[in-house]
Amino acid sequence: MSYNVALIPGDGIGPEIVEQAVQVLDTAGKKFGFTLNYTKLLMGGASIDVHGIPLTDETIETAKKNDAVLMGSIGGDAKTSPWYKLEPSRRPEAGLLKLRKSLNLFANLRPAYLYKELKDACPLRDEIIGDGFDMMIMRELTGGLYFGERKTVEENGVKKAIDTLTYDENEIRRIAKRGFDIAMKRRKKVTSVDKANVLDSSRLWRSVVEEVAKDYPEVTLEHMLVDNCAMQLVRDPKQFDVILTENMFGDILSDEASMVTGSIGMLSSASLNETSFGLYEPSHGSAPDIAGKDIANPIATILSAAMMLRFSLNLDEAADAIENAVSQVLKDGYRTGDIMSEGCTKVGCKEMGRLIAERV
């Protein structure tokens, strides 16, 4: 079996962590009898340096011809990088937003799972953690405030910025269906997060989610306001199975959930369209301050690669092997600096990648 994968190493630590993910993928391919053909693409700051813009139309068209896209990280230091002297539509992150929209990647899956071996890295007390937690945050990715009309005007000598939050019922319905489908394969509970006590968009969100829930009688649905959800994530994360929410709320809550797991360097991410095509990336940023130092944690990218095998290429056995290899490395006591604890062996990015590949 042969599959085509577009690689976007990106900026900062992106090339380092993608390199380790590819090593692990190729090891899995040899063991399970599949081949991945890679095409490297530029996006973000790397694309600005070459093309003057963060994403070209050619890159979009090439990405569409592949079975999936595996990405590192995008962006740089906003204070020092010349990329951030450009107007907003030409900055690195604009390329990522455009790619998501162009590929119709409306469903973002961010699992937040606490490994027993990383219990000490979790900032929560033992009585809160208990036996751990395992949740999936389903974030709508192509609508809402990030994609609404925006402008800055001057009225009576006063500058005013306007951002528009819009959702239609079809956008809400398709992400809700995906969320309930995922819940059916998990513990059959959906927590829909909104701000329905204030926002019309949230009131429509809640109404449509309730309609979709009627088609999934086995799934328990609860509604939760976003401010309460932010509190509950640190008060009792075990209560959550699938968190279903809109774009901006999901952006914020998934980062909070990542830190509850001990490190954002552990969190994978998948962005899917209505087919099996998806973009897979770590939840963390480009960390330009540690780029090139061989200290980045590649596990989130490696786990994203496992999600790619599972959701886009239907290679569940290989995905399981990679996830089990990550668990085994942690059980064996190896840690990168961000998850280091007493009594463990500290390793760099390359060594962590090698150790995981060795255990696939």
- Binding-site positions for NAD(+) read 285-297
Binding residues: 100, 110, 139, 227, 251, 255, 285-297
Residue 10, beta-bridge partner list: 73
User: Residue by residue, what is the 3-state secondary structure of 124-171?
Assistant: CCHHHHCCCCEEEEEEECCCHHHCCCEEEEEECCEEEEEECCCCCHHH
Residues 6+ away with beta carbon under 8 Å from 142:
100, 101, 104, 105, 106, 171, 247
Residues 6+ away with beta carbon under 8 Å from 47:
53, 54, 55, 56, 59, 95
Instruction: Verify whether residue 227 is a known catalytic residue.
Output: yes
* Separation between Cα atoms, residue 303 and residue 293, nearest integer Å: 22
Catalytic residue among 49, 168, 215, 227: 227
Do 69 and 5 form a contact (C-beta atoms < 8 A)? yes
Q: What does each C-alpha distance from 2 to 37, 63, 338 come to in angstroms?
A: 7, 17, 35
Q: What is the DSSP letter of 53?
A: S
Instruction: Verify whether residue 146 is a known catalytic residue.
Output: yes
CA dihedral 184, 241, 222, 215 (to 10 degrees): -10
Instruction: Verify whether residue 251 is a known catalytic residue.
Output: yes
The distance from CA 163 to its chain's CA centroid, rounded to whole angstroms, is: 24
* Separation between Cα atoms, residue 299 and residue 263, nearest integer Å: 10
Catalytic residue among 177, 189, 195, 350: 195
Q: What is the DSSP letter of 333?
A: T
Q: What does each C-alpha distance from 157 to 68, 152, 153, 154 come to in angstroms?
A: 49, 13, 10, 6
Catalytic residue among 38, 67, 146, 189: 146
Residues 6+ away with beta carbon under 8 Å from 311:
109, 270, 272, 276, 278
Instruction: Verify whether residue 255 is a known catalytic residue.
Output: yes
Binding residues for substrate: 100, 110, 139, 227
Q: What does each C-alpha distance from 125 to 135, 187, 234, 257 come to in angstroms?
A: 18, 24, 10, 15
Do 144 and 167 form a contact (C-beta atoms < 8 A)? yes
Catalytic residue among 194, 241, 251, 338: 251
The catalytic site residues sit at 146, 195, 227, 251, 255
